[in-house]
Structure 1
């Protein structure tokens, strides 16, 4: 099968970019021919923003690649903003079926994250046009940029652009329901759930230490402050790995509280080593995550996860089976779950670890993911014939 992957790279490499790379590697390992059409937002950024509704350069470039490569199917990831929805029209005019993975909530709100100013922002889900988002400047703290993004999304909704896509891939059932109940009025057959996966499962380690672990961006939305204030009231050790705006705050807490250890930025293998050694991963995020790779990697290591009960975490974690849920943002509830886990017998913990490993084997193995992805491709190819 010949597959064209379309993606607009982020200025700072993140989870979506990693998913694109890993899916391409997975498809190549299965013997398929894959080409990446990569856009980026460098250069004349203002011009690309102005062309957000329809970037004629991106349209022509896509057409040229389609004519040369002649793919059987196209898989779009991020179009924002240099690629633009013009890519949809280039593919459609070439009569090639295509799918689009929605890694975020950009079609539902200009914020892309449904998060603003330290809390969930869901107003755009209820409004025909996101006036509240514009007033708050939820995109890059700019009312003008938020307005322009909102106009582009609404324009393409009005002219039926979003309905040109054969199938949208979402990462969780939660995201699917959010989209089905949204103003876009897509039918359930247009949306399919396919989770992310991990290509680097860690070997299981029977020798566990008694510390908890956090790995991720050190930001408000990741729940870092909740984590710090919770463990400052406990004697249990928490190791924190990552970088971000709250780095200095984490360092200050680690100086004041000896049970809080800051590890800084870790390499991939170092993260996997920590996952194999810790007693549990903590994931206190307070925004609607897409599908955190670190949770998948934790399960591959047989490591249970204590996470906020919201979004992807609610789908991925079965409380009392492969981890625990706590009320988002509730320090006392997180504290209670940490204590409950720490005081559990080794027999109970071993059961959770087996369940975490089983979750990975059942849902997040590369081979299973490849089968799902190819099944989606074949379904849109058959439908277009």
Structure 2
């Protein structure tokens, strides 16, 4: 394949959306598909948790340009893969064979953070770009910037981190930070999908000039007209996303349960999400109990494909994003805005940045069941507010516009 850009591009992800449908995985794959559609010389490499076939670390997927990398990290504290020959031997050989000019990493977790150094050693003239999708380099608690006692964390430090993880010392976290920052020195440009996340990494120590803010783009889809009548007696709310404690699904169900009966009679809530069975039994039991109690107005629709979103969104009045951590740039917000659906979101992090209160959505006090409940009541009792918000929603930048910005960096 001849490249219009004149460069070979390798996009690397910590998972393939055919296997794991996370926001970062979808974002990286959307970029690959758009670049390929333009005729660029691009390959897509994604980590796979499945065991390899025939002893090799790689296998093909959807054709020759999509490659699964069968590897894993040995040290979750450092995201390290330093003892695995899959990184130091097989991956190195693949780099020498492909010889990409630009390597765009959408992550290092599951792959091994040493992958950055291996790229630099093997292809010293290649440009390395890393998209930061959350706060994993800063925060050992799943990159959430949330303390292990559940409180929001406003600033990391070796001492603060050791208070959360008593089995580690401040020295352990000091050395962890130094190790990650040393490997990050090999990165030419960092990309942050939100200004909020960029600010956190600048505060942590990455030079501001090295981080570009570029949103995760959405594939272009035709706007589907709402499939219900505007004067419907029921106001339809919907949740889209992973069914885990951090996404706030429990908070949302508790807020709905708190509503007076007169309000519940005028609404429905659809839950579109996956991976509830991967959560703790305690969390599963809580969600199951709340769903049972609200079975007359809350409907658990299960997982969905991204291609189904336009139709699903055409059937709702509001999308609720109740995450109880800072978030970076939830893709569901862009997806909702693309279909002209206003969003009710927590007033922190990337959510507060992406949703402007009173313009294209409403904020509620993060983690507050009562305030979310009151915001839902406000939305139901003030139907003209929704119409005004719909008219002022700006269509988000499409994947085509996003890739244009990335190509400027690649060049």
Question: How far 1:355 sits from its partner (Å)?
Answer: 2.5
Which of 184, 194, 199 is the equivalent residue of 1:162? 184
Q: SS at 1:212's partner residue? A: strand
The alignment's TM-score, normalised by the length of structure 1, stands at 0.83
Question: How far 1:63 sits from its partner (Å)?
Answer: 3.1
Question: How far 1:335 sits from its partner (Å)?
Answer: 2.0
> Gapped runs of 5+ residues in structure 1?
138-142, 379-385
Q: Does the CA-based 8 Å contact 1:326-1:333 persist in structure 2?
A: yes
Does residue 411 of structure 2 align to residue 373 of structure 1? no
Question: How far 1:80 sits from its partner (Å)?
Answer: 1.9
Q: Aligned residue for 1:383?
A: none
Question: How far 1:320 sits from its partner (Å)?
Answer: 0.2
The alignment's TM-score, normalised by the length of structure 2, stands at 0.78
Which of 80, 89, 98 is the equivalent residue of 1:69? 98
Q: Does the CA-based 8 Å contact 2:12-2:46 persist in structure 1?
A: yes
* Deviation by residue 1:205-245 (Cα, 9 ceiling, x = unmatched): 24455211112222221112221111112213222222313
Distance 1:79 1:254 in 2: 36
Over 3 Å counting, the alpha-carbon distance change for 1:220 and 1:83 in structure 2 is closer
Q: Does the CA-based 8 Å contact 1:202-1:297 persist in structure 2?
A: no
Does residue 391 of structure 2 align to residue 354 of structure 1? yes
Over 3 Å counting, the alpha-carbon distance change for 1:218 and 1:365 in structure 2 is same
Distance 1:172 1:279 in 2: 26
Distance 1:154 1:277 in 2: 49
> Gapped runs of 5+ residues in structure 2?
1-6, 52-69
Matched ranges for 1:1-385 at <5 A? 1-9=7-15, 12-41=20-49, 48-49=74-75, 52=80, 54-55=82-83, 57=85, 58-94=87-123, 95-111=125-141, 112-117=143-148, 119-122=150-153, 125-127=156-158, 130-135=161-166, 151-157=175-181, 160-182=182-204, 185-199=205-219, 201=221, 203-206=223-226, 207=228, 208=230, 210-234=235-259, 235=264, 236-243=267-274, 244=276, 245=279, 246-257=283-294, 258-346=296-384, 348-356=385-393, 358-360=394-396, 364-378=397-411
Q: Please, which moves more after superposition, 186-195 or 52-61?
A: 52-61
* Deviation by residue 1:240-261 (Cα, 9 ceiling, x = unmatched): 2223134553443333232222
Question: How far 1:151 sits from its partner (Å)?
Answer: 4.8
Question: How far 1:116 sits from its partner (Å)?
Answer: 4.9
Q: SS at 1:215's partner residue? A: strand
Q: SS at 1:325's partner residue? A: strand
Distance 1:304 1:329 in 2: 20
Distance 1:200 1:37 in 2: 24
Q: SS at 1:211's partner residue? A: strand
Q: Does the CA-based 8 Å contact 2:116-2:184 persist in structure 1?
A: no
Distance 2:47 2:386 in 1: 46
Q: Does the CA-based 8 Å contact 2:13-2:105 persist in structure 1?
A: yes
Distance 2:41 2:368 in 1: 48
Distance 1:75 1:204 in 2: 33
Over 3 Å counting, the alpha-carbon distance change for 1:38 and 1:334 in structure 2 is closer
- Segments of 4+ in structure 1 off by > 6 A? 44-47, 146-150
Question: How far 1:330 sits from its partner (Å)?
Answer: 1.2
Q: Please, which moves more after superposition, 173-182 or 46-55?
A: 46-55
Over 3 Å counting, the alpha-carbon distance change for 1:248 and 1:192 in structure 2 is same
Distance 2:363 2:189 in 1: 32
Over 3 Å counting, the alpha-carbon distance change for 1:127 and 1:93 in structure 2 is same
Distance 1:100 1:305 in 2: 29
Q: SS at 1:288's partner residue? A: coil
Distance 2:81 2:312 in 1: 45
Q: Aligned residue for 2:67?
A: none
Number of positions where the alignment pairs a residue of Structure 1 with one of Structure 2: 362
Q: SS at 2:75's partner residue? A: helix
Q: Does the CA-based 8 Å contact 2:236-2:268 persist in structure 1?
A: yes
* Deviation by residue 1:326-347 (Cα, 9 ceiling, x = unmatched): 110112221222222222244x
Question: How far 1:152 sits from its partner (Å)?
Answer: 4.7
